[in-house]
Amino acid sequence: MRELKLMKGNEALAESAIRAGCDAYFGYPITPQSEVLEYLSREANQRTGMVILQAESEVASINMVYGAAGTGKKVMTSSSSPGISLMQEGISYIACAELPCLLVNVNRGGPGLGTIQPAQGDYFQSVKGGGHGDYKLIVLAPSTVQEMSDFVELSFELAFKYRNPVMILTDGALGQMMEKVELNPQKERKHVELEWATTGRKNGNGRVITSLHLKSEQMEQINIRLQKKYREIEKNEIRYEAVNCDDADYIIVAYGLVARICHKAAELARAKGIKVGVFRPITLFPFPYKELFENVKDKKGILDVEMNAGQMVEDVRLAVEGKVQVEFHGRMGGVVPSPEEILEKLEEKYLGGSK
């Protein structure tokens, strides 16, 4: 029986990091994720000895993560959109050096300084690369406070399994909202010697954490290795949720916070006799292309709903390869769509307007 608590999303995530036996957190305040740093500063060190350091910038914090992750410890940082943009160089280095770590993006409205309200405008940045070069993060998109909590331990598992950075892509609303959450029991923090980690030279030559390979052939080999790993991740780690899709005529595709609203919209639709199901990708990379196609191939249409100008919809279109009609509805800049609005859009696009 797991411990039951009423918690804010950001705090549940922070609490779960402590319980997952995380060794270090490096971060910088930014709304709407500062609770993570605040909660950890208050709780973590005295309970497990976890290192908590408020860095001088996001640039510094991601590089502290790089350094600490290189020693094989469980390390994380969190930020919100503009801060994550600042971290992109470091994330690219981490991906190339193949260091396991957890990054949390509590997405807010953009571009620029934008707003502090929830948004999903960082989908491309998170899923398609973000920094320079060919690399991928494993991206998990929670839609409840419970998932904000559960995905922490899962992220560390995946990060170490593949030696790859994992991002939890959430948003300002999930970070701030309070829900009941079942917490995992406390895991012990323990040091595991990993053969690649720089912990002081053992037998043999010094170990090196690097992303620099001056010979182009060598750099290509590194890329080939990374791509092979990404294919492996695509094969093994796809996660999604399909609700009432079997008998549906229309499928709403949405991730994170929006998916919850879409469930309500689907309910309203069914009350009106329109059979609607909801497909929610949980891993945004690897994206559930095949699984989505299987769920929508015989449907009348798809409505993709996002809090951005249409980013995941590109992957949805790739998944159906033109075989199913795909429509998009998005709100931007921190505006959250309502269930009624989503239903109205579905009716407008597919049924010639609201009945």
Partner 1 sequence: MNEKKTLDDQHYEKIIAEESICTQDHVVYEPPKSAMYETPMHYCPGCGHGVVHRLLAEVIEEMGIIQDVIGVAPVGCSVLAYNYLNIDMSEAAHGRASAVATGIKRVLPEKLVFSYQGDGDLAAIGTAETLHTCNRGENILIIFINNGIYGMTGGQMAPTTLANMKSTTSPFGRDVATMGSPLKMTDLVAQLPGTYYVTRHSVHKAGNVRKLKKAIVKSFEYQKEKKGTCFIEVVSNCPSNWKMTPVESNKWLEENMLPFYPLGDIKTPNQKEN
- Which residues form the interface with partner 1 (CB under 8 A)? 23-24, 26, 51, 53, 55-57, 59-61, 63-71, 73, 75, 89-90, 93, 97, 198-202, 205-212
198: DSSP letter: -
Find, among 254, 256, 260, 239, the residue nearest to 313 by Cα.
254
Alpha carbon distance 91, 59 (integer Å): 10
- Written as six digits, the tokens of 79 are 């930020």
Task: List residues bridging with 171 in a β-sheet.
Answer: 107
Q: Which is nearer to partner 1, 71 or 325 (CB)?
A: 71
Nearer to partner 1, 97 or 167 (CB): 97
Instruction: Provide the sign of the torsion angle of the four alpha carbons 139, 142, 148, 154, taken in this order.
Output: negative
Nearer to partner 1, 89 or 294 (CB): 89
What 3-state class would DSSP assign to 340?
helix
Cβ proximity to partner 1, 93 vs 255, nearer residue: 93
CB closer to partner 1 out of 99 and 252: 99
Q: Which is nearer to partner 1, 101 or 168 (CB)?
A: 101
Write the DSSP assignment of 69-93 as a string of letters: HTTT--EEEEE-HHHHHHHHHHHHH
- What single string gives the DSSP state of each residue in 299-345? SSEEEEEESSSSSHHHHHHHHHTTSS-EEEEE--TTPPPPHHHHHHH
Q: Is 270 helix (H, G, I), strand (E, B) or coil?
A: helix
* Residue 52 DSSP code: E
Q: How far is the CB of 179 from partner 1 (least distance, A)?
A: 32
CB of 56 to partner 1, least distance (A): 4
In the complex, least distance from residue 213 CB atom to partner 1, rounded to whole angstroms: 10
Q: How far is the CB of 44 from partner 1 (least distance, A)?
A: 13
Starting from the edge strand earliest in sequence, which strands make up the sheet with 301-306, in order? 240-243, 276-281, 250-253, 301-306, 326-330
**Closer by beta carbon to partner 1, 49 or else 112:** 49
Minimum Å gap between C-beta 92 and partner 1 is 9
> Shortest Cβ distance from residue 273 to partner 1 (Å)?
57
Taking the CB of residue 99, how many other CB atoms lie within 10 A of it?
25
Q: How far is the CB of 129 from partner 1 (least distance, A)?
A: 17
Phi-psi region of 318 (alpha: psi -120 to 50; beta: other; left: phi over 0): alpha
Minimum distance of partner 1 from residue 216's CB (angstroms): 16
Q: Which is nearer to partner 1, 72 or 142 (CB)?
A: 72
**What are 233's two structure tokens?**
């991740």
Amino acid of residue 353:
G
Distance, in Å, from the CA atom of 313 to the CA atom of 319, rounded to the nearest integer, reads 10
Tracing tokens 């050096």 back to the chain, one arrives at: 97
Rounded CA separation 22/10 (Å): 16
Whole-number minimum distance, CB 88 to partner 1, in Å?
Answer: 11
Residue with Cβ nearer partner 1 (216 or 246):
216
